[in-house]
Every structure is written in C-alpha cells, then in structure tokens.
Amino acid sequence: MTTSTVPAHVEHRANPMQPQPFRVRKVQNDTHDTFTMNLTPVDGGAEFKFQPGQFNMLYVFGVGEVPISISGDPTAGGPLVHTTRAVGTVTKAMRKLKVGDTIGVRGPYGSAWPVEEAKGSDIVIVAGGIGLAPLRPSLYYVLRHRHDYGKVVLLYGTRTPSDILYRKEIEGWRSRFDLEVYVTVDRAIGAWHGNVGVVTNLIPKAPFDPLNAVAMVCGPEVMMRFTALALQKRGVTPGRTYLTMERNMKCAVGFCGHCQFGPTFACKDGPVYRYDKIRWFFGKREV
Amino acid sequence: METLEPYLAEHPFFRGMAKRHIELIVGCASNVRFDAGQYLDKEGEEANRFWIIRHGRIAIEIFNPTTGPITIQTVGEGDVAGWSWLFPPYVHHFDTRALELTRAIALDGKCLRTKCENDHELGYELFKRFAQIMEQRIEATRMQLLDLYK
Ligand SMILES: Cc1cc2nc3c(=O)[nH]c(=O)nc-3n(C[C@H](O)[C@H](O)[C@H](O)COP(=O)(O)OP(=O)(O)OC[C@H]3O[C@@H](n4cnc5c(N)ncnc54)[C@H](O)[C@@H]3O)c2cc1C
C-alpha cells in the first residue's frame, strides 16, 4: 500500500485537531460550481509541504470542517492551493469567502500518489470531473521530473464542455510535445468539436505501454470502478492502478473511525489506495 | 492500381482475419474522404454502407429540432461506424458527420450481405467483430446514463 503518513510537523503538533488560521489570497471561479483558493498562513509560518494526493481539513469558522485535496504544485512552494466544488453547507459557505478572509487549515493528511515508485514507468492519469484537482499535484510533479518517466498521458472526462476544470492550463498541457492530453465530455450541444463519450472510451487507444504503466485514477466512485476494469482489460494490472476513496471524515487522523472503508480508514490508509489492496471490498454496497 | 487490402488487413477491426476473407471484403470496399462538417450518413436514409475510419474524427449525432444536433459519441482512427446495414429495414438511426478531414474505407453493405450469405464463415467472422463493437457501445451508453461525473 502507499505510504500512509501523518507528517512529522502534524504529529508533533500539540493538538492535531487544532486548525491553523490561513488567509485567503486569491479566489478564482473555475466553472459554475467550482473555485480555486490560494491560502497563506496568517502568522507568515513556514512553507507548507505536502505530497501529491494529500488533503487538508478546511474549517470555515462557525460553519464546519471538510476534507479537500491539495491541488497545487508540491514542488513550487508558494501559497496552498485548493479546488472545491460547492455542493453543501460548508463548501457553499467556503465559496462566499473573499480575499483577506481567514479559514482554518489542518493537515496535510493521508497517503499520496506513487510518483516516486512510478519513476521509469509510463504514467496514465485518468480523471473524472473535480477528480482532476487531487491529481493535478502529481501531474505537476511528473512534469517537473519529466525525464524520469516514460510516456505521460492525461485522460479527462467531464459531463459537459462547461464543466472542464483548469481549461486554460489544459490547453497549455495540450501544446506540449512530452504530454498526451485527451478530453472527453458526456454531453455536448453546439460548438464542441472534441471527443464525446465516457472517459473509459479513451483507455483502449491511449498511447501508453500497459505492461509498463502506472495508472492514477480519481473521480466519482462509479467512474473509478469502470476505469479500473477498462485499464485491466488493456493490460494494466491492479497492482499498478491507484485510486482515491472519498469518505466522509471528521478527525482525519484515524481516531474517530468515521471514514472506515473495509478494514482501513480512508483518512490515513487512503485516500490513495492501490487497487489490488481494496479490490475485494471496493464497489461492495455494504462497505 | 494500389489495392485497399493492406489497409483493411492492418485496421484494428479486421486484424487477425484470414487473408481469403479480407480478399472477399476488399471487393466491396472503396476509399473515401470527408471534409470537416460533411455528413457521412443521415438519419432515416437507407443504410447501405459502413465506415472503417483511417484518420480523422466523426460525430454520431441525433438531431433535436429545438436544440439542434446532439453528439452522442465521437469515433476516430481505428474505429468503425455504422451497423444499420446489418439489420432490416436497413435505415440509419443517427446522423454521422466528419468533425475534421476524415479518411475512411467505405464498405458496401449489400455487397457484404450477399458475400456473407454465400460464405457463412465470413459472416460469422464479421458478426463476431460487430457484436464486440455493439457490446462496447452499449456499455459506454449505459455508463453515460449513469451520469458518471456528477
Ligand atoms: C480525502 C478527500 C478529499 C476530497 N477532496 C476534494 C476536493 O479536492 N475538492 C472537492 O470539491 N471536494 C473534495 N472532497 C469532497 C468534499 O469533502 C465534500 O464535497 C464536502 O465534504 C462536502 O461538504 P459540504 O458541507 O459542503 O456538503 P454537505 O452539506 O455535507 O453535503 C454533502 C452531500 O450532500 C449533498 N447536498 C448537500 N446539500 C444539498 C442540497 N441542498 N440538495 C441536494 N443535495 C445536497 C451534496 O451533493 C453533497 O454530496 C474530498 C473528500 C475527501 C474525503
């Protein structure tokens, strides 16, 4: 299984449940329901270190706390970046925050994408919807260490063209010669000239060597189920396929048991899991 | 004259098919190209061909009078489009339109149906391949209906 770490700077904190105040430096609307915030510590603090795939607990004071993956560049330093879809009580309140407001941050928590172990392999990143956000740090990492990897392929599916996250950035990635980017949408009316169909349609023909590829998958659970199967059909083994499990969590450090997923806790054994380790209970309704 | 046989034999749809079957099929084949925006098939018209796509991309569409064309799926290099020629009354259920310059091999459905009647082994080979495509499309359609990216 991937490394499940509570980083030293969190473990040694007097109270791991205590959020640190961060200031909102920038808010950008990505799509009609998603937004990206840049945060910096109110007290100036040290640079925020994390591994691609890890998440923070973000506390909108007086409203509540939710787990949100870090979507920024793990090698760049600079502000902490989170991309969030406004779906319910906390995330909708978060969306109302303005530059200069404060938010509580605990973390980083959880396991990471296997970007180190995957060196020497082809990389296939399969993202569905907002699932691109937790994968973006691993793409940044791989592109920063581009010569350590074989082919790098991003397959991204969304519902409609207007749901495409990081549109400008994807256009930039597309123009690179060392990265293959394929985008597909479920539904398109009018001016869309790109691919239409579910993201799994892209897997059979994507240019990677299935026997030497590591796949990282993030999206809604049902999408990940079908993606894992399509990857397997292509020849990527479950031992080389990684996916993230989003479970509701409270403490995020393995105390409360809220995020139990089979014999594991998604907050510390996940959210990134190797598929062969969870295959027997992944997709079971009771889990 | 250059024959289409090597193209057919190399295309993923026909890969592994016996040479004698490819030779029979090539007799029903012609080389075609479409410019961006050009229709390959239209809903309601007689379905007497299918397309082996060599380059480019086409959209399978349905026309909604209030909103215009809705793309159901796009297919491209290495794919096959069209199976209405297999089933009576041989009528297209969707529009098919090139999204960019597309090169394809057109296969005459009537010609192939006759050959399949005369050579059931050829028919079985072709039907196995079409059944696989249908299975993939049904699976993809079901996933689309699940609203995967909610
Ligand atoms: C490890 C991990 C990483 C995550 N990373 C991200 C991330 O990077 N970005 C991101 O956006 N999310 C991420 N999530 C999901 C995020 O944590 C949840 O979306 C968030 O907790 C929802 O909190 P809320 O209070 O806004 O919603 P709640 O109020 O708790 O609502 C939860 C669910 O109920 C539904 N709901 C709420 N209100 C209504 C309503 N009025 N009508 C209909 N349905 C409603 C919503 O659809 C939602 O799915 C992650 C989750 C985990 C576990």
Return the DSSP state at A261. Answer: E
Question: Would you say residue A139 has pLDDT above 50?
Answer: yes
Between helices B109-118 and B120-145, what is the axis angle to 10°? 130
Query: Is A32 at the interface with chain B, CB within 8 A?
Result: no
Asked if A107 and A135 touch (Cβ cutoff 8 Å), the reply is no
Query: Is A229 at the interface with chain B, CB within 8 A?
Result: no
Question: Would you say residue A3 has pLDDT above 60?
Answer: no
ipTM (interface predicted TM): 0.80
Task: Tell me the average pLDDT of chain B.
Answer: 92
Which residues of chain B make contact with A163, given a CB cutoff of 8 A? Answer: 149
Kindly give the distance from the C-alpha atom of residue B110 to the centroid of ligand 1, in angstroms, as a whole number: 55
| pLDDT band, residue A268 (cuts 50/70/90) | confident
Asked if B31 and B105 touch (Cβ cutoff 8 Å), the reply is yes
Interface contacts (A, B; CB < 8 Å): 65
Question: Residue A66: in which H helix or E strand, if any?
Answer: strand A64-69
The pLDDT, as a whole number, for residue B49 is: 94
Residues in chain B: 150
| pLDDT band, residue A282 (cuts 50/70/90) | confident
Query: Is A222 at the interface with chain B, CB within 8 A?
Result: yes
The pLDDT, as a whole number, for residue A13 is: 58
Residue B131: HSE in the Cβ half-sphere, 13 Å Cα cutoff: 6
**Binding-site residues, ligand 1, Cβ < 6 A:** A 55, 64, 66-69, 83-85, 87-92, 130, 133-134, 246-247, 249, 271
Kindly give the distance from the C-alpha atom of residue A248 to the centroid of ligand 1, in angstroms, as a whole number: 8
The pLDDT, as a whole number, for residue A2 is: 47
The pLDDT, as a whole number, for residue A6 is: 53
Give the range among A2-6, A150-154, A231-235, A263-267 with minimum mean pLDDT: A2-6
pTM of the model: 0.88
Task: Tell me the average pLDDT of chain A.
Answer: 91
Asked if A56 and A107 touch (Cβ cutoff 8 Å), the reply is yes
The Cα–Cα gap between B111 and B127 comes to 15
The pLDDT, as a whole number, for residue A4 is: 45
Return the DSSP state at A111. Answer: B
The pLDDT, as a whole number, for residue B150 is: 67
Mean pLDDT computed over A80-93: 96
Beta strand A102-109 with A20-29 is: antiparallel
The Cα–Cα gap between A181 and A163 comes to 17
Greater pLDDT, A27 or A263 = A27
The Cα–Cα gap between A139 and A180 comes to 12
Residue spans of chain B under pLDDT 50 = 1
Mean pLDDT computed over A163-179: 96
Question: pLDDT over 70 for what percent of chain A?
Answer: 94
Query: Is A10 at the interface with chain B, CB within 8 A?
Result: no
When scoring A158, A185, A196 by the number of chain B Cβ atoms within 10 A, the one with the most, hence best to mutate, is A196
The pLDDT, as a whole number, for residue B145 is: 84
Which residues of chain B make contact with A219, given a CB cutoff of 8 A? Answer: 148-149
Kindly give the distance from the C-alpha atom of residue A87 to the centroid of ligand 1, in angstroms, as a whole number: 5
The pLDDT, as a whole number, for residue A11 is: 53
| pLDDT band, residue A29 (cuts 50/70/90) | very high
The pLDDT, as a whole number, for residue A1 is: 43
Q: Give the minimum alpha-carbon distance from A9 to chain B in angstroms, rounded to a whole number.
A: 35
Question: Would you say residue A10 has pLDDT above 80?
Answer: no
| pLDDT band, residue A119 (cuts 50/70/90) | very high
Q: Give the minimum alpha-carbon distance from B115 to chain A in angstroms, rounded to a whole number.
A: 31
Mean pLDDT computed over A151-174: 96
Q: Give the minimum alpha-carbon distance from B10 to chain A in angstroms, rounded to a whole number.
A: 15
Per-residue pLDDT of B76-98, as tens digits, reads: 999 999 999 999 999 999 999 99
Question: pLDDT over 90 for what percent of chain A?
Answer: 73
